[in-house]
Structure formats: C-alpha cells, structure tokens
A and B are shown apart, each in its own frame.
Chain A
Amino acid sequence: MPQQSDYLKETPSQTAGPYVHIGLAPGAAGFEIYDQELGQDIAGPNAKGERIRVEGLVIDGIGSPVKDVLLEVWQANADGIYPHPEHAGHETVETGFRGWGRVITDFETGEWAFDTVKPGALMGRNGQMMAPHINLWIVARGINVGLNTRLYFDDEAEANAADPVINLVEWEKRRKTLVAKRSERNGQVVYRFDICLQGDDETVFFDI
C-alpha cells in the first residue's frame, strides 16, 4: 500500500466580495441586526499608552481609492503584549483591551480610520526585538486571498532600522511603504498609512 498523507488541505480562499460589510460590519454599513457589532473598540477604556488615530486609503493599480475594503487590525498593547494565552505576560493586559478591530472605508471617499493606542515593541524570532507595529489584514471585492501587511511608526526610526521584519525586505525603497507618518490635528495624534495594492509604491505584503 502506498504511503498516505494524514494531512487535510486548508479550505481555499475566495474573495470577500462587494457585500462583505453586511456580514462583518453591518452596523457600520447602516444595517442594524446585531445587539453588538464586533471590532469597534480595539483598545478599550483601560488601556495604557498613547491614544492615536490611524487613517488612510487603499489605492488600486489605477491610482484610485478602493471604496469597498474591510480592514482588520491586530496589535499588542503598549507593553508589547498580545491578549492571547500563548503570549507570555498576557495576564497583565488591561481588561477590555481586545487588540483587534475592524474598519470599513467610506463608500464615497475610500477613507478609513480607527482609534487605538500605540503598541509597544516586542520580542521577535531569535532574540531580535520587533519595533512597535500593527498587523493589518485587507479584504475586498477583487482580492482573492486576504492581504497581510504591517504598519510601523515613523517616530520609531531607530527601532524600525533594527526591525527584523522590515529588514527582510531586500529593497530599501520598499520599506517605507510599511511606515505610517505621524502628525497632530486638533491635539490628536494621527498616523497616515496609505496602502497601494499595485504600482510604483506597491505596499509590502507578507506571506505569513
């Protein structure tokens, strides 16, 4: 008898399509069905650290904003700890800190934004520290498999320069696509992070 593989195959991905909003963010899409919409509060009221807003566009290969995207956010708290039992120190994560959120784009402009706290640095592989970052997952009509990228912060230049993941990107000019730009608006810290699906400034996407 020939040797058999015991492994199952992962279910293949299909596009989230144009109506992903009614499934995953119905309230944000103007459709009231659930008592509680998930992913609206990433950090919660008790989180330590700097309160920030992150905003941007997702831009297609023509240079146009993509107006039907859904993004998911996954991040550590200000101490660099994920609220997950496999991350050492998770017991110390503030009550109500989810680290996860969802945001959809404005149907007219394509702008998206979310509020959170700035995450802390954390240990990566082989004893190398990773600079503070937010993990993003992007789905939309026309995206066949969700796209993974990371958002780093431009005021962390020293940590970014040593970050083992940024340094995986062989082309130095592409690294800047992973770095959000800080500014202040009406006393609020805002990071700008435009994501290009294609073109000269194509964002670095990861196969994780």
Chain B
Amino acid sequence: MTKAPQKQGEFYQRDRRWHPPAYATDYKTSVARSPKLALISLENTASEITGPRFGHSDITPIDNDLLSNYAQPDQSPIGERIIVHGRVLDENARPVPNTLVEIWQANASGRYRHKKDAYLGAIDPNFGGCGRTMTDENGYYYFRTVKPGAYPWRNWVNDWRPAHIHVSIFGSGFAQRLITQLYFEGDPLIKTCPIVATIPDPAAIDQLIARLDMNATIPLDTIAYKFDIVLRGRRSTLFENRLEGN
C-alpha cells in the first residue's frame, strides 16, 4: 500500500541563537550594517513557502568543475585538486532534491577574480573561482576545484581568513534561502577568524568545517572533503495550519 504524500506545512522557525547575530563588534563591517531594531516575526504565507525553481536547462554540466570551467584547453589551475561533495538535507534529515547550489572562492594564492580584490596573491589565468550545480534526487551534490588559499583582510591589523568556499543554497521555499561558508578540517586559522567567531556556538561552527573524506578521494588524483548542508525543515500538518484560510 502506498502512503499518500503528506501535505507539508510551515517551516520550522529559524534558531537565531544558532546563527550569528547581525551586530558582531569583532567583525567591524557588521557594525554599521546591522539592523538595530528587532526583526518582525512573520508566520509563513505563500510568499515564504514558495520559492524559485531551477532546472538542468539553467546550467551546463561543466559548471560544477572549477578545474576546467575557466581553464584554457589542456591546462588546469594551480593548487591542490579537491572534490567537495555532500548532501543537502532539511532539519528532518530528508534530502532536498533538485535544488541549486552555487559556490565561489579565492584561488590557491588566496586571490579572487574580482575587480575589488587587490591582494598580492597572483591571479590564476586558468581559474575563475565560481561554480554551480543541482542536487540529484537524493540531495547529493559535488564540485571539483582547487583548495583556496588563506588571505589577509582589513579588520584588525593582522587578520587572515581561513581557507573557505562560499556556498549559496535555495531549497524549495524562499524562507530556506541561505548563504554560508565552508571551512577545512585542521585549518589553524579557523579559531582566529572574527567572521567565523560571529557564530556563538562552537557546535554550530563545527557544522561549517568540511571533513577530509578518504573514501571519496580519487587515488593519485584528487583529495575529497565532505560537506553536508542542512536547510530549514517543515512541519507535517498533523493539525491543519490555516495557511490559505479557506
């Protein structure tokens, strides 16, 4: 007997104490860019439960391969070749299929291909630094890239960002929209970084640290890191929520 699909309700409220606060004095740029008044709590309506949808026609298969998506023919970027892979799940541990995952990062020298980045680290002619893919039916995604370098930034006089990859994820509803950063297991700069430290709970920081995954490593070729992403979960409608008010 097949079970009828269960109607999904509202998203669980976002745990604001798990996320960084808007105002974090040690991350100086947040000081003038953080709302001072309280957010207004808004129960989900159709505007929050729905969200944009993407398909394979929006992207090309090479978009998830940063080793080749900007490289000259037969060339490849400098740096440690890595695979970043994992699953996108929701808080109920259910896979989030067919959702868009986008990444961007510095090259192996710690330099972004961006007109506002003036760091001494060299631009790599074979590295663009961005990629995108869709999760499969099991919520699985993967990218191939180089491990980004650490780089200095103006905050305190001597701040260095740990190696990181920016990750953007959609989910099925606009309320799940999320941007975060992936760090690498064992990086000593993680514990010095004021941006990492905007997150108050060490367990939440740990959730952003990709783990070395020897089983997914391709011998003599590419090292793998595993990074699972969790988006907000949804209530099952055991009791009817009157979203549409019929």
Known A7-B233, A14-B20, A142-B30; contact A205-B112, beta-carbon cutoff 8 A = no
Return 21 A-B CB contacts under 8 Å, by A number: A6-B93, A8-B90, A8-B233, A11-B231, A12-B180, A12-B199, A13-B19, A14-B195, A19-B112, A20-B104, A22-B104, A22-B129, A23-B130, A36-B60, A61-B33, A76-B46, A76-B47, A142-B29, A143-B30, A144-B198, A198-B36
**A145 near B: Cβ within 8 Å?**
yes
**B14 near A: Cβ within 8 Å?**
yes
Interface residues of A in 1-22 (CB under 8 A from B): 6-22
- Give the residues in chain A near B44, CB-CB below 8 Å: 208
**A84 near B: Cβ within 8 Å?**
yes
Question: In whole angstroms, what is the CA distance A6 to B63 when docked?
Answer: 35
Question: In whole angstroms, what is the CA distance A145 to B34 when docked?
Answer: 10
The 3 closest A-B pairs by CB, nearest first: A23-B104, A127-B245, A142-B29
Question: In whole angstroms, what is the CA distance A127 to B43 when docked?
Answer: 14
Q: How many A-B residue pairs have CB under 8 A?
A: 263
Question: In whole angstroms, what is the CA distance A82 to B244 when docked?
Answer: 14
- Give the residues in chain B near A20, CB-CB below 8 Å: 104, 166, 179
B50 near A82: Cβ-Cβ < 8 Å:
yes
Bits for B198-216, please: 1 = Cβ < 8 Å to A, else 0.
1100011101100000000
- Give the residues in chain B near A207, CB-CB below 8 Å: 13-14, 16, 39-42
B242 near A126: Cβ-Cβ < 8 Å:
yes
**B78 near A: Cβ within 8 Å?**
no
**A118 near B: Cβ within 8 Å?**
no
Bits for A51-74, please: 1 = Cβ < 8 Å to B, else 0.
000000000111000101000101
B16 near A13: Cβ-Cβ < 8 Å:
no
> B111 → chain A, closest Cβ, in Å?
10
B33 near A14: Cβ-Cβ < 8 Å:
no
B42 near A206: Cβ-Cβ < 8 Å:
yes
**A187 near B: Cβ within 8 Å?**
no
Question: In whole angstroms, what is the CA distance A67 to B51 when docked?
Answer: 26
B208 near A61: Cβ-Cβ < 8 Å:
no
Tally of contact residues, A, Cβ under 8 A: 80
B130 near A36: Cβ-Cβ < 8 Å:
no
Q: Please tell me which stretch of B135-143, B170-178, B218-226 contacts chain A, meaning at least 4 of its Cβ atoms lie within 8 angstroms of it.
A: B170-178
Tally of contact residues, B, Cβ under 8 A: 90
Known A8-B89, A12-B18; contact A197-B33, beta-carbon cutoff 8 A = yes
A9 near B204: Cβ-Cβ < 8 Å:
yes
**A189 near B: Cβ within 8 Å?**
no
Identify whether the interface residues of A are mostly helix, strand, loop, or mixed. Answer: loop
Question: In whole angstroms, what is the CA distance A76 to B132 when docked?
Answer: 26
Identify whether the interface residues of B are mostly helix, strand, loop, or mixed. Answer: loop
B50 near A60: Cβ-Cβ < 8 Å:
no
Bits for A33-50, please: 1 = Cβ < 8 Å to B, else 0.
111101000000000000
- Give the residues in chain A near B60, CB-CB below 8 Å: 34-36
A8 near B93: Cβ-Cβ < 8 Å:
yes
- Give the residues in chain A near B50, CB-CB below 8 Å: 74, 82, 84, 86-87
Interface residues of A in 185-208 (CB under 8 A from B): 197-198, 202-208
Question: In whole angstroms, what is the CA distance A206 to B53 when docked?
Answer: 23
Q: A21-B114, A208-B42 are in contact. List 12 more A-B contacts (CB 8 A).
A: A12-B18, A15-B181, A19-B117, A23-B102, A26-B128, A33-B128, A123-B46, A145-B16, A168-B40, A205-B40, A206-B42, A207-B14
Question: In whole angstroms, what is the CA distance A31 to B53 when docked?
Answer: 25
Which single residue of chain A is at the shortest CB-CB distance from B93?
A8
B47 near A130: Cβ-Cβ < 8 Å:
yes
B58 near A125: Cβ-Cβ < 8 Å:
no
> A100 → chain B, closest Cβ, in Å?
3
Interface residues of A in 134-188 (CB under 8 A from B): 135, 137, 139-147, 150, 165, 168-169, 174
**B35 near A: Cβ within 8 Å?**
yes
- Give the residues in chain A near B58, CB-CB below 8 Å: 36, 38
> B130 → chain A, closest Cβ, in Å?
5
The 8 Å CB contact of A126, one of B19, B177, B245, is B245
A123 near B244: Cβ-Cβ < 8 Å:
yes
Which single residue of chain B is at the shortest CB-CB distance from A150?
B47
The 8 Å CB contact of B91, one of A7, A62, A133, is A7
